[in-house]
Structure 1
Amino acid sequence: MAAFEYAPAPESRAVVDIAPSYGLFIDGEFTEGTSTGTGSGTGTGDGLRKTVSPATEEVLSEYTQANAEDVDRAVKAARKAFGTWSALPGAERAKYLFRIARIIQERSRELAVLETLDNGKPIRETRDGDLPLVAAHFFYYAGWADKLAYAGYGPEPRPLGVAGQVIPWNFPLLMLAWKIAPALATGNTVVLKPAETTPLSALFFADICRQAGLPRGVVNIVTGDGATGAALVGHPDIDKIAFTGSTAVGKEIARTAAGTRKKVTLELGGKGANIVFDDAPIDQAVEGIVNGIFFNQGQVCCAGSRLLVQESVQEELLDALKRRLSTLRVGDPLDKNTDVGAINSAEQLARISELADSGETEGAERWSAPCELPSSGYWFAPTLFTGVTQAHRIAREEIFGPVLSVLTFRTPDEAVAKANNTPYGLSAGVWTEKGSRMLKMARELRAGVVWSNTFNKFDPASPFGGYKESGSGREGGRHGLEGYLDV
């Protein structure tokens, strides 16, 4: 059956006013970096980087490359603000968080379009997924601000001080909310560094902080590449480090913090298993598989990038999955009909392509959805591999792209053994109609999150985090408060 034809339905980008260049947000004001030196306050000069739209390669804006001196200014501003902010009653801090949440809701269309332009993900995802969750996290932690004595961390839990936070490019604004909301609720102040390819939503959030009347220095935003992040992590006056990103960088951060007083939470890579038993509803499982690996172009740390399917239903499931992938619409992320958008950067596209090529070289069978990719920008067709063994690189390494590796199993024990045969332990999905089997699998899988007959479902009240090389600590829920409290 032919796929439905949809007329283009682009979201207007006129709702977003992107400045030609941006400085740093320090002590409640935008200021130029020390390496820019123009005196204009616009962030123009030599210490600049460009951020581009992954869908078109259009330069969206320039932003400041913060150096160690800039980071030091931001940390000092946060330290100065900490005394007053931490002394506020929790109910007063909550007012600011509630105000930020409401402003995010009011500006959600603007922020969704901005995120799609800078990141490349479909507008449907930013509009219907990211932005509602961003506001929900601020609402949720606003509710905790005056109830910390009842969170289970002692009758008078105290904030740590200044939190240095480094976030990735795959969910720029959502990861900001995961980090900043609990930090502010618990009385900490923040210096946050967004990813070098997606700085814009964090800079717009700085404006939201001013709009909400947040006291100066409570939130500071420093932009730049890995050198900026290293300066922030290594700063001696940082009390807490929160990082989401690659396992390799997470290990380096752990080495830097070792032997210091800094508290560290790390949310790192993953190679999640999506396990389909022979009694699972096939159509429902197919939708969960698609959501598990092709949501956000597979650029998700907890993506279900390994499909483990019981041998007896492998053929039926794969036929249904290929039919479904053939209907996915790849293209303009601002089009409301688009299912799969652009890869975030040329560097990431090169890594995806290299790993996919290795799958073919090592003998797996490659199948890509039939689709016409745009001529400009960074694109990769939804792809799956069959005939994959546990020795293949595509079954072991995090691809962070729209590539699914298919393996088979015969018994539940074999499924558990294969799912756990990875250095990662962030997520897993189990598809079965038997409640007893589901509970048994959830108990035996070494994953921080196990979804039952669904995948990639999040809630601010639910903790998220991993085992092994997927990190340490939890974000979200009551558990997410602990990383920002002296307990």
Structure 2
Amino acid sequence: MGENEDDKHVLDHGLGSTIRKGKTFETIDPRTEEVLARVAEGDKEDVDLAVKAARHAFDNGPWPRLPGVERRRILLKFADLIDENVEELAAIDTLDAGNLYAFAKGQYIHGAASAIRFYAGAADKIHGETLKMARELQGYTLIEPVGVAGLITPWNFPSTMFALKVGPALAAGCTVVVKPAEQTPLSALYFAHLAKKAGVPDGVINVVTGYGATAGAAISSHMDIDMISFTGSTVTGHRIMQAAATSNLKSVCLELGGKSPFIIFKDVDLEKIVPLALLGCLYNQGQICVAGSRVFVQEEIYDEFLVKLEEQLKKWVVGDPFDSNVHQGPQVDKKQYDKVLSYIELGKKQGATLFSGGKAFSDRKGYYIEPTIFTDVKDDMAIATDEIFGPVMSVMKFKTVEEVIKRANCTKYGLAAGVMTNDLNIANTVSRSIKAGTIWINCYFAFDDDLPVGGYKMSGFGKDMGMDALQKYLKTKSVATPIYNSPWL
């Protein structure tokens, strides 16, 4: 996507409208800090055009009225096209987001296709119920698409999040306006192109690239958008809820920040658990909302854990995400890079002990930061309370099950938790006691298309993934008629 006329288009494949003011913004390659492309900068007027296209397609177009089996056929074709273009999409997300190319090609893009197929399979299985009424009435429910959905996606996994929101929305029969993160806009445009090739009708998918404060805000407050699904920061989630409440009371689904505990009990095999703990915090440069960045280690194995952690860190490679030997690439942009470094300095200032890392790579271009481990961390330190979204781990010692449950829950977030133990009673007790939407026992990042993911507390509400995600794009209509010769006639 170079600087050509196509860059001025909002790819709404409904109206084919251009960005009205012709403005563009730069998307930066985080490996080199150089401009990767110039992308159309949509604003409120452009969102209005996209919403009009989506509304027209929903109210008058074929998509909501197609038999579910036909929507399934088109979505399956869309998934096939994603798989056929895996190398291009993986390269785009590596260049735009800093995702490791080996992971993007081997997991994320195929995972996006898998998610589309999962919801394609549900498209012809959406139905209501016949009700046995207590009075002389015949009752039934109709399950209908909610309407026009506004989908605002984050920058850490651009392809994955596009599929996890667009897949169930389209399967339900909705039309959508998608606002990808301004840091990573490119793959959303490519997905919209593939959807059109697959046969998704004009106006069903509308992509508006631009900034959250303008395009995102316009979507959140738009009177003709029926629901919002947002993944991102808790601060932005608050703003979206306020905008939805003060406009048309649209329904909102929020998947927000996290500060997940990774709890290691004394009975585990540290040879297996230490690499998992490291991955649980540093995966995708720590830029994942469920990162297990608060690592609680039972005191009997605490010292041994640190020894083995140091051994694993020696094998951890930071570098170009196109290199298959690399474990950690760059942070997504300069803003995130500076934020992570500021938290590292704050951790030192507040008295935590720097166990390893702690600085940027000054000998290369790009937003690269050393994997950073702190010990002697207190629960009220900023590095233990705030979502850093970077390669920073806090290691803390605990004594008892009761203590670690209390400390794990001592957070405003509630997205996920990891529980590492071979004791079934401990696993059951802790998993039932942790206030979080997803608990992983003796595993981490155990995602699956069938497993709902979402938060408690200030990590938001509603689910992505699983059949739960489909429900937020549907609404129930109740229908009642009197039975013949009933007193209602």
Is TM-score (shorter-chain normalized) higher than 0.5? yes
Cα distance in 2 for residues equivalent to 1:201 and 1:78? 20
- Out of 14, 39, 64, which is 1:86 matched to? 64
Deviates more, 1:364-373 or 1:211-220: 364-373
Residue in structure 2 matched with residue 229 of structure 1 by the alignment: 216
Residue in structure 2 matched with residue 356 of structure 1 by the alignment: 344
- Out of 309, 320, 327, which is 2:315 matched to? 327
Which TM-score applies when normalising by structure 2?
A: 0.91
- Supply the RMSD in Å over aligned alpha carbons: 1.7
1:313 aligned onto 2:301: yes
Question: Do 1:26 and 1:73's aligned partners in 2 also have CA atoms closer than 8 Å?
Answer: no
Cα distance in 1 for residues equivalent to 2:46 and 2:181? 17
Amino acid at match of 1:365: T
Cα distance in 1 for residues equivalent to 2:97 and 2:350? 32
- Out of 413, 417, 428, which is 1:424 matched to? 413
Deviates more, 1:112-121 or 1:25-34: 25-34
1:340 aligned onto 2:328: yes
Residue in structure 2 matched with residue 304 of structure 1 by the alignment: 292
Seen in structure 2, the aligned counterparts of structure 1 residues 361 and 151 have a Cα distance that, compared at 3 Å, is: farther
Cα distance in 1 for residues equivalent to 2:447 and 2:296? 22
Gaps of 5+ in 2: 132-139, 477-489
Kindly state the Cα deviation for residue 337 of structure 1 after the two structures are TM-superposed.
1.1
1:76 aligned onto 2:52: yes
Deviates more, 1:124-133 or 1:353-362: 124-133
Seen in structure 2, the aligned counterparts of structure 1 residues 346 and 420 have a Cα distance that, compared at 3 Å, is: same
Seen in structure 2, the aligned counterparts of structure 1 residues 374 and 178 have a Cα distance that, compared at 3 Å, is: farther
Cα distance in 2 for residues equivalent to 1:306 and 1:35? 46
Cα distance in 2 for residues equivalent to 1:127 and 1:333? 12
Seen in structure 2, the aligned counterparts of structure 1 residues 219 and 348 have a Cα distance that, compared at 3 Å, is: same
Which TM-score applies when normalising by structure 1?
A: 0.92
Cα distance in 2 for residues equivalent to 1:128 and 1:400? 23
Residue in structure 2 matched with residue 59 of structure 1 by the alignment: 35
Kindly state the Cα deviation for residue 261 of structure 1 after the two structures are TM-superposed.
3.2
1:463 aligned onto 2:452: yes
Amino acid at match of 1:100: F
Can you list the C-alpha shifts for 1:221-251, whole angstroms capped at 9, x where unaligned?
0000111100111110000100000000001
Gaps of 5+ in 1: 1-17, 37-46
Can you list the C-alpha shifts for 1:369-414, whole angstroms capped at 9, x where unaligned?
4996651111111011000001110000000000001111101111
Cα distance in 1 for residues equivalent to 2:73 and 2:249? 31
- Out of 414, 424, 429, which is 1:440 matched to? 429
Residue in structure 1 matched with residue 123 of structure 2 by the alignment: 145
Can you list the C-alpha shifts for 1:448-471, whole angstroms capped at 9, x where unaligned?
000011111211111000001000
Cα distance in 2 for residues equivalent to 1:27 and 1:77? 9
Kindly state the Cα deviation for residue 367 of structure 1 after the two structures are TM-superposed.
2.7
Residue in structure 1 matched with residue 195 of structure 2 by the alignment: 209
1:394 aligned onto 2:394: no
Kindly state the Cα deviation for residue 73 of structure 1 after the two structures are TM-superposed.
0.5
Residue in structure 2 matched with residue 8 of structure 1 by the alignment: none
Kindly state the Cα deviation for residue 77 of structure 1 after the two structures are TM-superposed.
0.3
Can you list the C-alpha shifts for 1:174-231, whole angstroms capped at 9, x where unaligned?
1111110000000000000000010000011111112112100000000001111001
Cα distance in 2 for residues equivalent to 1:29 and 1:281? 58
Can you list the C-alpha shifts for 1:64-99, whole angstroms capped at 9, x where unaligned?
111111100000100111132111111111111101
- Out of 467, 470, 473, which is 1:478 matched to? 467
Cα distance in 1 for residues equivalent to 2:103 and 2:446? 13
Question: Do 1:27 and 1:74's aligned partners in 2 also have CA atoms closer than 8 Å?
Answer: no
Alignment of 1:9-88 (within 5 A): 18-21=1-4, 22=7, 23-28=9-14, 30-36=16-22, 47-83=23-59, 84-88=62-66
Residue in structure 2 matched with residue 161 of structure 1 by the alignment: 147
Alignment: residue pair count: 460
Overall identity of the aligned pairs, in %: 42
Residue in structure 1 matched with residue 183 of structure 2 by the alignment: 197
Kindly state the Cα deviation for residue 28 of structure 1 after the two structures are TM-superposed.
3.6
Kindly state the Cα deviation for residue 436 of structure 1 after the two structures are TM-superposed.
2.0
Question: Do 1:27 and 1:78's aligned partners in 2 also have CA atoms closer than 8 Å?
Answer: no
